[in-house]
Amino acid sequence: MHFNLADLFESVVDAVPDRQALVCGDRRLTYAQLDERANRLAHHLLTVGVAPGDHVGVLLYNGTEYIECMLAAFKVRAVPVNINYRYVAGELRSLFHDSDLVGLVHQKALSSRVTEVGSTPRLRHLVFVDDHSNAQPPQGAVEFESVLAQGSPGRGFEGRSGDDLHIIYTGGTTGAPRGVMWRQEDLFFSGMAGGNPAGEPAQRPEDVAARAAAAGVLVTFPIPPLMHGAAQLGSFINFFIGGTVVLIPHFDPVEVWRLVERERVNTISLVGDAMARPLAEALAGGLQVDASALFVISSAGAIFSAAIREQLQALLPNVLLLDNFGASETGFQGRATPDSSPEAGLKFAMNSHTRVLDERLQPLPPGSRAIGRVALGGRVPLGYYNDPGKTREVFAEVDGMRWVMPGDMGVVNADGTVTVLGRGSVCINSGGEKIFPEEVEAVLKSHPAVFDALVIGVPDERWGERVAAIVAARPASNPTLEELRSHCEGRIARYKVPRLLVEVPEVVRSPSGKPDYGWARAVATGRTG
């Protein structure tokens, strides 16, 4: 008995072939149609020599083609590799080398960057998705739809295994992107809710299709790019319950609400304030939309600030707002408690496999007040592809239990909940006091003149580091450092209050809304000389 993602998807297809699976723009695909298109691409991969274990890069905007590429790779036991479409040629070249790509499916509009990368040791086959741009595809690249037209619509693939791999490259917000290697069976249970997000995970592979056939159709809308793990996992969670996934090629708050109305969307997933604030402000600005089918908006990768949560809740009183905790290395780990907030403390009710480990990698007891590393045990990734050093740093085995510790620090409260302090890699050390940027950022963003903010540490001769705030103000606003410091005092301890303010037109984030602390540090240190 094994849980393989392609096998499980095909079982759902056979159970609900005519149910709508995927919507993007004007394209609508039933489960049978999506499966057929993936089969055609899979057979093409076989004809060009893609073998089990080979890596196929996906350099695409959101669209049905992204999901089709993932499924096609799974079907032939190849490994789809997500690639950030914002990367320039040098970054792409590094990732192509690191991930050992043998094939690449890319957006036609990004052709010049692919051409600039040039040859890499193993990359031998290119497919481009025609987006009607004027870009010139690289020499030898073939067009996606023509490939599908020539491929067989049937299955007939060799047997698969739960040991088949899927790789999710991290966003690289605090360092170089790394490929997280998941066994598909482990990812199914840790990252895809075991085929049953509302209850007990599947005990047998057959349970997945049976539940999907019996379930009503849930319409879910993952707004972030599929190149980020959370959107991939959210999509497949819904596929495994026979639901419909709605995609948008690029984030546009007005178009998001139009799709919510048109498709009768039930759940939205997004990444913190970077997406929630524009959505809230579109509604607050008078946009008329029927969102009566919507009942959940969940955030992963970044939390709602109290100000945005309050604004959204006032605008959508019947919608449940959820803050989820997890990472590419863990999948879902927990959900924020009702009394959690950046200002009061980010408290999460974690799943049964999550612990906070001390320096000896032993679980901290509830109420100890000690700070440790938030860890997931049991079904965890195998490590980082081509990075044994970082694998040893983040993954460990203790008394036969495998643990992964992506970098978040936390405290176990007396009631068993965990207060998450933030990533240790961006923690600011000022005079021996530890300051976690997320807490300060949330307080800054509650100021009426602040649209967005990032916080980092900059060198200080006396304290080692001091707190610097990179702030994008609202239109016609010009907050001063004194005003922001006054706003922060009384809400956070004085040593956490920013000592330096740098105003920018826009705070740089990844397409998913995650912070770019490297950019923020460069801006701040450039200002301080």
pLDDT tens, 468-502?
999 999 998 999 999 999 999 878 888 899 999 99
Residue 280 CA to residue 275 CA, distance in Å, equals: 9
Averaged pLDDT, 376-404: 95
330 by Cβ neighbours in 10 Å (0-12 / 13-18 / 19+) ranks as buried
pLDDT computed for residue 529 by the predictor = 44
369 and 497, same domain (yes or no): no
Query: Residue 392, Cα to own-chain centre: how many angstroms?
Result: 23
40 and 148, same domain (yes or no): yes
Point out which residues pair with 23 in neighbouring strands: 28, 246
Query: Comparing C-alpha atoms, which of 58, 102, 50, 53 is closest to residue 77?
Result: 53
Neighbours of 132 (CB within 10 A): 7
Residue 81 CA to residue 83 CA, distance in Å, equals: 6
46 and 14, same domain (yes or no): yes
Quick check: is 351 in a domain?
Answer: yes
Quick check: is 206 in a domain?
Answer: yes
Tokens representing residue 418 in the block: 């965990």
Residue 302 CA to residue 321 CA, distance in Å, equals: 13
pLDDT computed for residue 184 by the predictor = 98
Residue range 304-353, pLDDT digits in tens: 877 888 999 999 999 999 999 999 999 999 999 988 876 667 899 999 99
Does residue 489 contact residue 499 with C-beta atoms inside 8 Å?
no
207 and 139, same domain (yes or no): yes
Does residue 173 contact residue 517 with C-beta atoms inside 8 Å?
yes
Angle at 106 between CA 89 and CA 108, to 5 degrees: 90
The reported pTM is: 0.87
Please give the tally of structural domains in the chain. Answer: 3
Averaged pLDDT, 235-255: 97
Q: Is the pLDDT of residue 528 over 70?
A: no
Quick check: is 285 in a domain?
Answer: no
57 and 123, same domain (yes or no): yes
pLDDT computed for residue 43 by the predictor = 98
Query: Comparing C-alpha atoms, which of 65, 66, 70 is closest to residue 9?
Result: 70
Quick check: is 399 in a domain?
Answer: yes
Residue range 431-453, pLDDT digits in tens: 777 788 888 998 898 899 999 99
Q: Is the pLDDT of residue 181 over 80?
A: yes
195 and 99, same domain (yes or no): yes
374 and 507, same domain (yes or no): no
Please, what is the average pLDDT of the chain? 93
Residue 462 CA to residue 430 CA, distance in Å, equals: 9
Residue range 120-151, pLDDT digits in tens: 889 999 999 999 999 999 999 999 999 999 99
419 and 459, same domain (yes or no): no
Point out which residues pair with 24 in neighbouring strands: 27, 247
38 and 135, same domain (yes or no): yes
Averaged pLDDT, 352-369: 95
Residue range 1-33, pLDDT digits in tens: 799 999 999 999 999 999 999 999 999 999 999
What CATH number does residue 513 fall under? Answer: 3.30.300.30
Quick check: is 337 in a domain?
Answer: no
pLDDT computed for residue 490 by the predictor = 78
Q: Is the pLDDT of residue 41 over 80?
A: yes
Residue 186 CA to residue 330 CA, distance in Å, equals: 10
375 and 498, same domain (yes or no): no
Name the domain boundary from 162, 195, 212: 212
354 and 464, same domain (yes or no): no
What CATH number does residue 42 fall under? Answer: 3.40.50.980
Q: Which domain holds residue 365?
A: 343-426
pLDDT computed for residue 301 by the predictor = 77
pLDDT computed for residue 374 by the predictor = 96
Task: For 369-435, give the secondary structure using H, E and C.
Answer: CCCEEEEEECCCCCEECCCHHHHHHHEEEECCEEEECCCEEEEECCCCCEEEEEEHHHCEEECCEEE
Name the domain boundary from 161, 187, 212: 212
The pair phi, psi for residue 104, each rounded to 5°, is -145, 130
